[in-house]
Amino acid sequence: MIIDGGPRRNMNTAKMLNSFAEGARSVGQEVEVKTVRLYELDYKGCMSCMACKVKGRASNLCKFKDALTPVLEEIAQADGLVLGSPIYFGDVTGQMRTFLERLAFPWLSYNDYRMTAPKRMPVVLVTTMNGLPERNNSNGYGSMEYCLSAALGEPKHLIAYNTYQVNHYDRFELAGFSEEAKRKWRDEHWEKDLQKAFDAGRQMAEM
């Protein structure tokens, strides 16, 4: 299951996730890959309804019903989870964070503070950003990373730095960026970033 937490259908995050999907599919026809685009769904974050913690009927699957319900059910059955998001103001997008609240709150036991998902599975966390490896403000998946790690397993990270934010820098007020420097970085790194995503997809499918 691939969860795309970015708004743009054909830009950096979507391309990284597509490459991951291609890598997974390259293993064979028996590999099923599904991508869900969060921005196309109408859903809320955790409603604090506490239905997942009712005495005797606690559930590690969110009980609130909306467009996210079938997605959460499918993740519970999946063999692997890939999350992708651009970095917005240092964090993943609000849409991704909102999704993660619904995914992870039912995992948390307020009896013993353990995090238990319906099933453990390999996890890959993808982020794309303007920042450079040595100069970035990214907090990545932040506190949610502990939840994912405890409940599903230690995640692998794929990070695309210094991405092309627009296809034509001369059409926008973006004087703070040098298009030449961006292009140089893209020429040196972007194909490699996509290849890493492809390889990670193949590796997860082989697992």
Q: What's the sign of the alpha-carbon dihedral 98, 201, 12, 136? A: positive
> Closest by alpha carbon to 35, among 206, 197, 207?
197
Q: Is 35 in the site for ligand FMN (CB under 6 A)?
A: no
- 21 vs 52, which CB is nearer to ligand FMN? 21
Q: Which one of 10-18, 35-43, 54-62, 144-152 is the stretch in contact with ligand FMN (CB under 6 A)?
A: 10-18
**Footprint of ligand FMN on residues 140-169 (CB under 6 A)?**
163, 165
Q: Is 136 in the site for ligand FMN (CB under 6 A)?
A: yes
Q: Is 94 in the site for ligand FMN (CB under 6 A)?
A: no
Q: Is 137 in the site for ligand FMN (CB under 6 A)?
A: yes
- 60 vs 162, which CB is nearer to ligand FMN? 162
- Amino acid identity, position 1: M
Q: Is 12 in the site for ligand FMN (CB under 6 A)?
A: yes
Write b or e for each residue in 11-45: b if 16 or more Cβ atoms lie within 10 A of its Cβ, otherwise e: bbbbbbbbbbbebbeebeeebebeebbbeeeebeb
Cα–Cα dist 177/186, whole Å: 13
* Residues at the contact surface with ligand FMN, assessed by CB under 6 A: 6, 8, 11-14, 86-90, 128-131, 136-137, 163, 165
